[in-house]
Every structure is written in C-alpha cells, then in structure tokens.
C-alpha cells in the first residue's frame, strides 16, 4: 500500500546535514509558533504542530534518522511512497512518552501512515538511550552500560511535566540474554541528568542506575528551578498595559502587563515554576515579553498611528525615552 512520503527535513526547514542542535533549534521555533495552546480553535495549526512533532521524533533520534536516511534524498514531500523490498522496520529503542501535553494533561496522538509504515507505529518522543511509557506498559531500553561491581546504567527520556510532577514508569532492560521489566518511580522535582538508583535491578543483582533526561519542551525553557515562556504582545498592550493569559505547567494563568514595558522584559509568576525536591517548594515562572508590530495595517489603523506620530512627544533617539 502506498502512502504519502514525508520530508522531515523540509518540514523542519533544515538541511539533511543538520546537526542535533540545529534540528532542536528549528523544532523549538516551529513548535512554539504552531503550538495548540497559542493557536486555539485553529485546526491547521494543530495539524502543522503534529507534523513538526513527527519530524522531530525521527530526526532527533539517531537510530530513526539513520533508518529514514537510508531511503535516499530523491523523494519529494507528498509523493506516493512504498517501502523498498525487504524493508525490516525499526529495531532500535522506542520511547513512548507523549509529546502532546496540554495544560499538564497528556493526550494521545497518532503519527502519519508513513511513520507507521517505517517504524511500526511506535510513535512518541525519542532521542535518548532509555525508553519509558505510562503505567502498565513495558518498553525496551538500550542495553545497560556496564559499570564497576556488577552495576549498570541506562537512560530514560521524560517530558518536562513528568519530571515536574513525578510519575511511575515501567522500563524493560536487557543484560546479555536476560531481560526484565522494572518499575521506575520518578520523584516530583526530578532534574535533567539526575540519577535514580534501583537496588538489585542490575546484572547479578547489582544496582541499576537510571539517568534521566528532560525532553525539549515546545513552549518552556528551564533555568534551574525556574521556567520561562516567551509571549507576544501588541504595541498598545505594551504602552497601555493589559491583563493577558499565559501558559504555565499548571494550565493557563493571568498576568498583569504594566504600562510602558519593553520587549524582552520579564514578568514573574512566583511559585509557578518547577517543584523542588524535598522542600515542598517551587521555582518561579517567568514570562518574557516580545512586542510584535503588525506587518499590515487597515486604513483606520494607519490613521491612528499617524495621529499618534503627530501628537506624541516620545523621541527616544533624542534622549527622550521616558
């Protein structure tokens, strides 16, 4: 059965030679632009967001990207595609974590028929060595890395929301010919590159260490215990002040934009950042403002700006910036 080919490089707007950081940067920019929370009731933006997620799922994972690149560079986006003879499907590590979390609630998604034909329908976020899934679902991890004294280490990639709130994951690990599924309890407030020790889960009843990695978030940046989101505002909101809604880890929140703010200025929502382990406290959530000027104006809008230009005493290039 033929499906429509998807050019994941074209979708993210990167060359086939793009490095990991270039791919991640392109993904963050596009995901922020088309995120459903910033485009409510916009079906086209939601579909575009899914395409972007699917492209990043493949290109951010070395195994999937290598498999995808074997198809060659001559395919065109949207062309009819049938896999080559003896196409073996995907045999690497699969991470079933769901990227599509909105207001802290994960929701299922289905990648395209093209993705499912290539990778067996195992959609979700990848990019690290480990593999995780929701409770009751066992997923395969990479072979554990041997450490001294019979210990082993593997890796697990998680959405920011899971590391913030904590979660329970089932992880299937393999040492030689032995394979077993273990429960991994993620504590609230876990951080990127932190480790969880599971006594007796390694080879020869040694300890297993699970190194956690935070998946890139399409909206939020993380700085220590704090989170940050960039929000666009209009020139008149910046000049006059306004109350706007912004996304947080807990859903939507109102924040007051004071009159006279500048582009790049940050506002703080105290105690709405990441959970801090062991203290019952949270970091802060920062809103970085970006003043966006309309590219096109109606005649009425143009007249208002012309009138403002005529009467305003604001001359920043003459030293009058107040």
- pLDDT (0 to 100) of residue 320: 63
In the block, tokens 């030293």 appear at 319
In the block, tokens 């009425």 appear at 300
- pLDDT (0 to 100) of residue 123: 38
* Cβ-Cβ contacts under 8 Å for 4 (sequence gap 6 or more): 78, 79, 80, 81, 112, 113, 114
- pLDDT (0 to 100) of residue 32: 82
Nearest to 230 by CA among 242, 247, 213: 247
Q: Is residue 119 part of a domain?
A: no
Q: Is residue 193 part of a domain?
A: no
Q: Is residue 156 part of a domain?
A: no
| For residue 99, pLDDT beyond 50 | no
Q: Is residue 102 part of a domain?
A: no
How many domains does the chain divide into? 1
| For residue 195, pLDDT beyond 80 | yes
Phi, psi of 95 (to 5 degrees): -115, 120
The whole-chain average pLDDT of the chain stands at: 78
- Tell me the residue range of the domain where 295 lies: 221-318
- Retrieve residue 276's tokens: 């801090």
Better-predicted residue by pLDDT, 75 or 280: 280
Q: Is residue 164 part of a domain?
A: no
pLDDT tier, 90 (very low <50, low <70, confident <90, very high otherwise)? very low
- pLDDT (0 to 100) of residue 127: 28
* Cβ-Cβ contacts under 8 Å for 22 (sequence gap 6 or more): 14
Answer whether 0.85 is exceeded by the pTM: no
| For residue 95, pLDDT beyond 90 | no
Q: How many CA atoms lie within 13 A of 75 on its CB side?
A: 23
9-42 pLDDT, tens per residue? 999 999 999 999 999 989 988 988 888 777 778 8
- pLDDT (0 to 100) of residue 202: 80
pLDDT tier, 110 (very low <50, low <70, confident <90, very high otherwise)? low
Q: Is residue 26 part of a domain?
A: no
Radius of gyration of the chain (CA): 23
Q: Is residue 294 part of a domain?
A: yes
Better-predicted residue by pLDDT, 300 or 181: 300
* Sequence-ordered alpha helix ranges (H) in 153-211: 160-165
Q: Mean per-residue pLDDT for 122-142?
A: 34
Region of poorest pLDDT, from 13-22, 82-91, 312-321: 82-91
- pLDDT (0 to 100) of residue 80: 64
Q: Is residue 58 part of a domain?
A: no
pLDDT tier, 93 (very low <50, low <70, confident <90, very high otherwise)? very low
CATH code of the domain covering residue 272: 2.60.260.20
Q: Mean per-residue pLDDT for 132-141?
A: 35
- Please answer whether residues 204 and 146 qualify as being in contact, where contact means their C-beta atoms are separated by less than 8 angstroms: no
- pLDDT (0 to 100) of residue 181: 85
- Retrieve residue 113's tokens: 């028929």
223-281 pLDDT, tens per residue? 999 999 999 999 999 999 999 999 999 999 999 999 999 999 999 999 999 999 877 89
Q: Mean per-residue pLDDT for 169-198?
A: 85
CA 65 – CA 147 distance, rounded (Å)? 29
């Amino acid at each position: 059965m033929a499906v429509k080919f998807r050019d994941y490089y074209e979708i993210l707007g990167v060359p086939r030679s793009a490095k990991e950081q270039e791919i991640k940067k392109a993904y963050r920019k596009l995901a922020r632009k088309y995120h459903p929370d910033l485009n409510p009731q916009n079906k086209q933006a939601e579909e575009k967001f899914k395409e972007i997620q699917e492209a990043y799922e493949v290109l951010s994972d070395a195994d999937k990207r290598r498999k995808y690149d074997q198809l060659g560079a001559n395919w065109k986006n949207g062309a009819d595609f049938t896999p080559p003879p003896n196409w073996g499907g995907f045999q690497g590590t699969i991470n079933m974590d769901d990227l599509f979390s909105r207001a802290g609630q994960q929701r299922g998604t289905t990648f395209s028929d093209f993705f499912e034909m290539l990778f067996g329908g195992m959609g979700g976020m990848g990019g690290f060595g480990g593999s995780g899934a929701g409770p009751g679902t066992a997923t395969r991890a990479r072979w554990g890395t041997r450490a001294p004294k019979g210990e082993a280490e593997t890796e697990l990639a998680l959405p920011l929301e899971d590391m913030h709130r904590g979660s329970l994951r089932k992880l299937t690990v393999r040492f030689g010919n032995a394979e077993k599924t273990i429960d991994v309890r993620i504590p609230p407030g876990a951080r990127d590159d932190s480790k969880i020790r599971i006594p007796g889960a390694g080879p020869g009843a040694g300890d297993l260490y699970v190194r956690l990695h935070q998946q890139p978030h399409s909206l939020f940046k993380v700085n220590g215990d704090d989170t940050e989101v960039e929000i666009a505002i209009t020139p008149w909101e910046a000049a006059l002040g306004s109350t706007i809604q912004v996304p947080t880890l807990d859903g939507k929140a109102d924040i007051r934009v004071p009159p006279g703010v500048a582009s790049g200025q940050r506002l703080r929502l105290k105690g709405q950042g990441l959970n801090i382990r062991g203290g019952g406290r949270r970091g802060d959530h920062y809103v970085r403002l970006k003043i966006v000027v309309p590219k096109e104006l109606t005649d009425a809008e143009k007249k208002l700006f012309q009138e403002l230009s005529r009467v305003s005493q604001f001359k920043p290039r003459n030293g009058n910036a107040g």
